[in-house]
């Protein structure tokens, strides 16, 4: 798979992704009525979700580690009578998605939870033939290979459950710039990436 992570890195795995929708309604009432409004219930659910994921999930901390779950409140809209949340959870390999959903439904406070999409995590071993080929190619061009586990999700997550074949992800560029306004790549690094991919194919051909 091709994705920017630096010309001397080979990516072995990515976290999984659970997109969760939450919708809650409450009867119309005056704003001063001391009963929970829809927006307040939704805010409470977001806090409960972070608690269910664990202490490292909140405030973006979990996004920095491959082995811990993390959540992003991607969208929120609502008023006194209806509130909707769009939540993006990233989870490590082996994470029990069904258990999380069951626990969330138990604390939904009358709200409706929808699992919009689930993509499992993926992790390859360093002995994977593609991983070895990329690693050797990086060394051949003067680099120090750095096996990497990423906390996002890529096409590797999508195809790994369906294609039982060797695979890894490689690509020059700075992944911290992904989706940013100033996303770019240095031409020199791009050209080194081309050389590494060419050598990778030579390594794979020789291995086969």
69-111: pLDDT as tens digits = 999 999 999 999 999 999 999 999 999 999 999 999 999 999 9
Q: In whole angstroms, give the CA distance from residue 208 to residue 200.
A: 12
Q: Give the pLDDT of residue 71.
A: 94
Domain range for 80 is: 16-119
Which 3 state secondary structure label does DSSP give 99?
helix
Structural domains counted in the chain: 2
Same-domain check for residues 115 and 153:
no
| Confidence at residue 54, expressed as pLDDT on a 0 to 100 scale | 86
Question: Which of these, 67, 116, 112, 69, lies nearest to 89 by C-alpha position?
Answer: 69
Residue 28: count of CB within 10 angstroms of its CB = 11
Question: Between these two residues, 207 and 77, which has the higher pLDDT value?
Answer: 77
Nearest Cα neighbor of 122 from 156, 148, 167 is 156
For the residues 13-32, what does the mean pLDDT come to? 96
We report the CATH number of the domain holding residue 165 as: 3.40.630.10
107 burial class (0-12, 13-18, 19+ CB within 10 angstroms)? middle
| Domain annotation covers residue 94 | yes
pTM of the model: 0.86
User: Is the domain of 83 the same as that of 112?
Assistant: yes
What is the pLDDT, as a whole number, of residue 61?
A: 61
Helices (H) and strands (E) in the chain, counts: 5, 7
Comparing C-alpha atoms, which of 120, 98, 87 is closest to residue 20? 87
Domain boundary among 69, 87, 119: 119
Name the pLDDT band for 178 (thresholds 50, 70, 90).
Answer: confident
Angle between helices 97-106 and 38-53 (to 10 degrees): 140
Quick one: tokens of 133?
């080929």
The whole-number pLDDT of residue 58 equals 59
**Does residue 114 share a domain with residue 80?**
yes
Last residue of a domain, one of 73, 90, 119: 119
CA-closest candidate to residue 200, choices 153, 165, 168: 168
Beta bridge partners of 9: 146
What local confidence, expressed as pLDDT, does residue 59 receive? 57
Residue 86 corresponds to which tokens in the numbers above? Answer: 């769009």
The Cα–Cα gap between 148 and 128 comes to: 14
Q: Is the confidence at residue 179, as pLDDT, over 90?
A: no
pLDDT, position 176: 85
Mean pLDDT, the chain, integer: 94
Instruction: Note whether 91 and 133 are same-domain residues.
Output: no
- Angle in degrees, CA 173, 157, 203, rounded to 5: 60
Contacts of 19 (CB under 8 A, 6+ apart): 86, 87, 88, 89, 115, 116, 117, 118
pLDDT in tens, 121-171: 999 999 999 999 999 999 999 999 999 999 989 999 999 999 999 999 999
CB 89 within 8 A of CB 69: yes
With 70 as the cut, is the pLDDT of residue 29 above it?
yes
């Amino acid at each position: 798979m091709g994705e920017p992570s630096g010309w001397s890195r080979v990516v072995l795995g990515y976290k999984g992704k659970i997109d969760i929708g939450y919708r809650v309604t409450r009867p119309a009432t005056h704003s001063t009525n001391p009963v929970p409004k829809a927006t307040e219930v939704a805010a409470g659910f977001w806090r409960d979700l972070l608690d269910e994921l664990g202490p490292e999930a909140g405030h973006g901390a979990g996004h920095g580690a491959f082995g811990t779950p993390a959540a992003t409140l991607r969208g929120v809209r609502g008023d006194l009578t209806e509130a909707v949340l769009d939540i993006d959870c990233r989870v490590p390999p082996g994470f029990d998605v069904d258990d999380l959903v069951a626990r969330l439904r138990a604390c939904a406070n009358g709200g409706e939870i929808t699992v919009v999409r689930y993509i499992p995590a993926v992790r390859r071993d360093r002995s994977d033939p593609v991983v070895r080929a990329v690693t050797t190619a990086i060394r051949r061009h003067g680099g120090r290979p750095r096996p990497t586990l990423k906390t996002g999700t890529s096409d590797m997550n999508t195809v790994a459950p369906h294609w039982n074949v060797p695979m890894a992800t490689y690509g020059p560029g700075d992944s911290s710039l992904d989706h940013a306004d100033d996303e770019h790549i240095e031409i020199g690094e791009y050209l080194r990436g081309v050389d590494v991919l060419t050598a990778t194919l030579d390594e794979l051909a020789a291995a086969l």
